[in-house]
Amino acid sequence: MTGWDITPSGVESVLSRVRTAAGELSEDISAYGESVRSAAASAGTISGPYCGDAPAGPVGAAVVNFVNDTQSQIVFMAARTRKTMDGTVKAVTEYLEGDLEMAARAQREAAKAPTPAELRAVTAKNGQE
């Protein structure tokens, strides 16, 4: 993992901002849906007089077609945001667990009795061979 320097608090800060933005995006998408329905209903028609609800006109139909054509992109954007956030949390968790595992391995190795080669290296360094 050389070259990586992940700060969990920094990641949490970024994820917090992304969560806020995703929440605002969700609200905007809801408002968009309501606005589109209203626009489609209010677009009027080129037909003559009518009783009851106004029939759908060409503009209203175009708005509905636009929504139908872009709906999958909006759903994809929301799913991609969620998947990216979940993946980030998992990656950072794995990174931290890897750090803990490496630290534990280093500690276990340091607690072992010196090998004959390590003993020779110390005595050679002190001129005792």
Which residues constitute the domain of residue 31?
11-44+55-125
CA distance between the termini of the chain? 39
Measured distance CA(63)–CA(39) in Å, rounded: 8
Residue 37 lies in a domain: yes
Place of tokens 């992109």: 73
Total of domains in the chain: 1
Q: How far apart are CA 26 and CA 22, in angstroms?
A: 6
Q: For 70-103, how does the pLDDT look when each residue is reduced to its tens digit (9 = 90+)?
A: 888 888 888 888 898 888 888 888 888 888 888 8
Kindly report, residue by residue over 95-127, the tens digit of the pLDDT. Answer: 888 888 888 888 888 888 888 888 888 877 666
| 81 located within any domain | yes
Query: What does the alpha-carbon distance between residue 97 and residue 91 come to, in Å, rounded to a whole number?
Result: 10
| Residue 19 belongs to some domain of the structure | yes
Q: Is residue 72 part of a domain?
A: yes
CA-based Rg of the chain, rounded to a whole angstrom?
Answer: 31
